[in-house]
Amino acid sequence: MKSTYALMYLLLFSVFGFAQSVDIGGTVKDEKSGVPMPGVSVQVKNNSKGTMTDLDGNYSLNDIPSGSIIVFSYVGYQNVSYTITADNKNLDISLPEDSKSLDEVIVIGYGTQRKKEVTGAVSVVSAKTLETLKPIDATQALQGTASGVVVNGTGGSPGSSYAIRIRGIATNGTNGPRIIVDGYDIGTDMNLLNPNDIETITVLKDVQAAVYGVIGANGIILVTTKKGKKNTAAKFSYNGYTGFQETSRKLPLLNATEYALLLNERYANGGQPLPFPDASGLGKGTDWQKEIFATSAPIISHDFSVNGGSEKITYAVSASDLTQEGIIGGEKSHYKRNSARIALTAELTSKLKLESNFIYTYLDRDTFNDFGLGSVLFNAINTPSTQAIRDANGDFTLVPNSPGLGIEIINPMAQLANTYNDYDGRKLQGTFGLDYTISKDLVFTARMGANNYNSKGKTFAKQVNYGGKVFDITRSSVSQNRTNDNSYTFDAYLTYKRSFAEKHNITGTFGTTIYKEWGNGLFATGYDVPQNSWQFADISLALGTSGGRDVGSYEYKDKRLSYFGRVQYDYMGKYLVSAMGRRDSSTRFGPNNSVAFFPSMTAGWVISKESFFGESKIIDFLKLRGSFGITGNDQIRPYGYVGQLNGEATYVFDGVLVNGTAIGALSNPDMKWEEAKKLDIGFDMNLLNNDLEINADYYLNRTDNLLIQDLPVSGTAGAGGPGGASPTINAGSVRNAGVEFMLNYNHKVSDNFKFGASYTLTTVKNEVLKVNKTTTTFLQGGSFGVGQSLLPSRMEEGKPLGYFYGYQTDGIFQNQAEVNAHPSQAALGAEAQPGDIRFKDLNGDGVINPEDRTNLGDPIPDLIMGFNLNFTFKGFDFAAYAYASLGNDMVRNYERTLSDANRLDYVLDRWTGEGTSNNVPRVTTEATGNNVFSNYFVEDASFLRIQNAQLGYTIKPEFTEKAGITKLRLYVGVNNIYTFTKYKGFDPGAVNPDGNPIGNGIDNGFYPLPRTYMFGVNLNF
């Protein structure tokens, strides 16, 4: 027996002895062209060993056990696996192309489809685009890269949000699309996501979004985060950059000498003494923009990740840190975002698979008043350049409280110094799900997503005197708040997939979704902060009160229950049909209309697969597609169908006035869902050996039963009291129509040189079809100037939503004869004189009054374009992005119309006598009608922005692998390089933070976008 064991040990030892490790090597080439391929990943399966091919496509690996599987992979090519034997050490591999992404898997909601089978209008932004653009907010990556999508910033301050609009403005309420991250609804903001965690961003622009029912009216954005890959050794990555920021634009304001001379002229024309009898020694004075704008505001980003997997388990773990200071305010405009993520998948059995993905985000943001009348920018623009920053004692100077400077312009540097705000937020969100294979054709999926967001904020109002201004604070105070917001989603659905007779393919998805959100908030203010100091700014120490109610709170909850189904069919991959339906019920509507059903259908025809198409030498793939359906919208204030006691009233008890509560917003038990009917017709085409991809669409969207919250009602209804509001009613229709076009070209010129370019184009024609005519034919909103009662924006039938409504100018009066011959303009505030603006008498009644107002333009662009250029040459890579918006108008409202406020230098071309100017009116201290809202203040805000340029170099692997580094790439880049525009303001592409389309496009002083210079590194090991 012992001899038998000895023989077995000897045989085993002999086997292992012969299964020695071998050295392998060879060349990897493109299967089609035969050209060697550099940068191909060569990885031993289930092992940490691996390398990359060099510039000649060669590779080598040492000490590889015989029987090991080597996997060759490269983006855009199919993976090739090869088993090592002792007899085959020299492996020359040919990689086949992956059909130029026609087999790319697209996420479409509750499932996936191959790109060539998609019958809806879909845009996809890849991780590669995100890596190049280096956006702080992932939303920025959609600008110019996804056709049909408009992305506008609300300002350039750190942490500011972005507004996303898909195919126009559909409603006067919430217009942003819903964002779904790995199946979980996170709302309308991607600001808290780490862009480096994102694998793809998919935009559903037509009725593909109908499978999400009530939240799909404005489109759906599906975010897929990065996951680990099977049979892959742990891959560690570090991506980081550091840089500095400066303002991308300054306004050409008058210097001290120019200002003084202009003011002298203004006072002389008004018959008043000159304020600057001798302006010769003033020089340039204070450049307030130079004082508030930093020239090297730092930004630093670090991102660490590790991912990999075995045959049964995959993992992806990451952590990131972003720190940014604003170009205004320094530490008063600080932003910090930390995030950590872990994603795990496990195949517990051949039938059961578990998935989880959890993200934690910490946010710290310090802010100041950075938008609107009274903001730091507003004061920097309007404070005279003759004013010093500090006086002889080193104290901040006071802007005079005079009729010429009013009571709202203050020293912007003093304003910054006296601003104290802090905001902290912590968010934990995640999903956990399972897939259970009931049979080879049927899979059950269950997934739960949850979110918890806790925030706290503190604002300290320091006791300060600005010289009799509205911003004077006579008692110090501190205001603090805490909020808690929660939500969860539970999805359960069955997916049936089967092929019949090798020709018929069918996929059915049927399920249910439960959604709930709830939260609360608490607010309090304390007065008389000890030592008038931020150090002691806490309500536990500030014991003073206002004499009234200094605390407040709120609580909310909302629920939805949905059932959905989708059936997809294709015949031999040529004829494609998909039908969807979703039944939603929402607690935001009363019992009469709480339930709605939203159907839709898409279809496609792959013409290139027809026999009559033949073997085209130019067209490789051609598909026609179309869709039609209905989606819904319930994005209104909760409980709008009932009256609530959240208003205010005064009552008399025993002859004494007592403050109490009353009904707030009036109820409407019959309000119902908004309905968006969407039509799309388009085609997808690949040409030139799949190097050129073209997508084109025509879309027509109509939204009916608009949920309008501010429609005027009779004052006897009680909506005009404190805290009161009009009821929410269904009272309007809006239509958006246009075309989309996308061209994407990628070509491998040689082994060393690859070139790519893309172009997107979107047109939008927006029109209001109906406004409730039982009470009014229009809605109005927005504001212009100070104290002007006529509102500048409207929603009116036959016009774009939110168009500008005011007086139409007709040049400048050159002499008194022209004034005498023109209808009276006294109703505008004063009789006209030579040098004043001449307004048109549009109704021909012989007088200029509010009845002569008309359409002055609108903030909705007619045409949006995006451009991208990229190439690689040996180890170098370059990419550049540009974005253009044409036809959008903007109102110049950042200039205070007071006589002594500073001005932009266009006033140097003012009227000073007959024939001197027909565009800019005279300056005077007298009353005029020149400052009423007119097209004099409406400008063409079309622009072309060079968004990004980046140059990188990847060091040859043979040098870095010695240190265990598989990839080392260094790069330099610039974001927001330059904006070409005729608009005079800081940012022609910004939108108002409140998101209201009625009043949008009125520039009260948008915080300019920062230009960012960065140096970074991508490191894999």
DSSP 128-165: HHHHHH--SSGGGGGTTTSTTEEEEES-SSTT--EEEE
H-only helix segments in 19-160: 127-133
pLDDT at 498 over 50: yes
Residue 781: Cβ within 10 Å count? 18
* Extents of the domains making up the chain: 19-95, 809-851
Place of tokens 């001798």: 278
pLDDT at 710 over 60: yes
Selection from 13-27, 173-187, 596-610, 667-681 with the highest mean pLDDT:
596-610
Residue 574 to residue 585: CA distance in whole angstroms: 37
Of 95-109, 408-422, 593-607, where does mean pLDDT reach its minimum? 95-109
Per-residue confidence at 217, pLDDT binned at 50, 70, 90?
confident
Of 155-159, 675-679, 719-723, 884-888, where does mean pLDDT reach its minimum? 719-723
Fill in the amino acid letter for 489: T
Bridge partners of residue 1017, in order along the sequence: 240, 970
Compute φ and ψ for 615, nearest 5 degrees: -100, 90
Fill in the amino acid letter for 443: V
Residue 181 to residue 359: CA distance in whole angstroms: 11
On whether the CB atoms of residues 246 and 294 are closer than 8 A, the answer is: yes
Per-residue confidence at 739, pLDDT binned at 50, 70, 90?
very high
Mean pLDDT, rounded, for 81-109: 77
Which residues have a Cβ under 8 Å from the Cβ of 30 and sit 6 or more positions away? 36, 37, 77, 94, 95, 97, 748
On whether the CB atoms of residues 286 and 233 are closer than 8 A, the answer is: no
Q: Which of 899, 905, 939, 941 is nearest to 923 (CA)?
A: 899
Strand order in the sheet with 803-806: 778-781, 793-796, 803-806, 854-857
Residue 717, burial from CB neighbour count under 10 angstroms (0-12, 13-18, 19+): exposed
Residue 143 to residue 475: CA distance in whole angstroms: 46
Mean pLDDT, rounded, for 139-149: 92
pLDDT at 339 over 70: yes
Mean pLDDT, rounded, for 384-404: 96
Mean pLDDT, rounded, for 212-223: 90
Residue 569 to residue 809: CA distance in whole angstroms: 59
Q: Which pLDDT score is estimated for 853?
A: 97
Residue 1016 to residue 1011: CA distance in whole angstroms: 16
Q: Which pLDDT score is estimated for 327?
A: 96
Q: Which pLDDT score is estimated for 15?
A: 39
| Coil vs helix vs strand at 732 | strand
pLDDT at 643 over 80: no
pLDDT at 750 over 80: yes
pLDDT at 820 over 70: yes
Selection from 460-474, 776-790, 991-1005 with the highest mean pLDDT:
460-474
More confident site: 519 or 658: 519
Compute φ and ψ for 731, nearest 5 degrees: -150, 45
Residue 591, burial from CB neighbour count under 10 angstroms (0-12, 13-18, 19+): exposed
Mean pLDDT, rounded, for 848-866: 97
Q: Which pLDDT score is estimated for 826?
A: 95
Q: Which of 632, 536, 530 is nearest to 580 (CA)?
A: 632
Q: Which pLDDT score is estimated for 98?
A: 64
On whether the CB atoms of residues 793 and 803 are closer than 8 A, the answer is: yes
pLDDT at 13 over 70: no
Mean pLDDT, rounded, for 802-820: 97
Q: How many CA atoms lie within 13 A of 437 on its CB side?
A: 11
pLDDT at 340 over 80: yes
Residue 1012 to residue 1007: CA distance in whole angstroms: 15
Q: Which CATH superfamily is domain 19-95 in?
A: Carboxypeptidase-like, regulatory domain (2.60.40.1120)
Residue 709 to residue 700: CA distance in whole angstroms: 26
Residue 192 to residue 174: CA distance in whole angstroms: 20
Q: Which pLDDT score is estimated for 5?
A: 41
Of 1-10, 536-545, 874-883, where does mean pLDDT reach its minimum? 1-10
Q: Which pLDDT score is estimated for 10?
A: 38
Which residues have a Cβ under 8 Å from the Cβ of 392 and sit 6 or more positions away? none
pLDDT at 7 over 50: no
On whether the CB atoms of residues 493 and 110 are closer than 8 A, the answer is: yes
pLDDT tens string 16-67: 334 467 888 889 987 766 667 877 888 888 777 888 787 778 888 888 888 8
Q: Which pLDDT score is estimated for 774?
A: 62
Tokens of 25: 């090597």
pLDDT tens string 895-950: 999 999 999 999 999 999 999 999 999 999 999 999 999 999 999 999 999 999 99
Of 229-233, 741-745, 814-818, where does mean pLDDT reach its minimum? 229-233
Of 33-42, 443-452, 792-801, where does mean pLDDT reach its minimum? 33-42
More confident site: 460 or 957: 460
On whether the CB atoms of residues 677 and 705 are closer than 8 A, the answer is: no
On whether the CB atoms of residues 248 and 979 are closer than 8 A, the answer is: yes
Residue 709: Cβ within 10 Å count? 16
Q: Which pLDDT score is estimated for 717?
A: 62
Q: Which pLDDT score is estimated for 827?
A: 95
Per-residue confidence at 719, pLDDT binned at 50, 70, 90?
low
Q: Which pLDDT score is estimated for 577?
A: 97
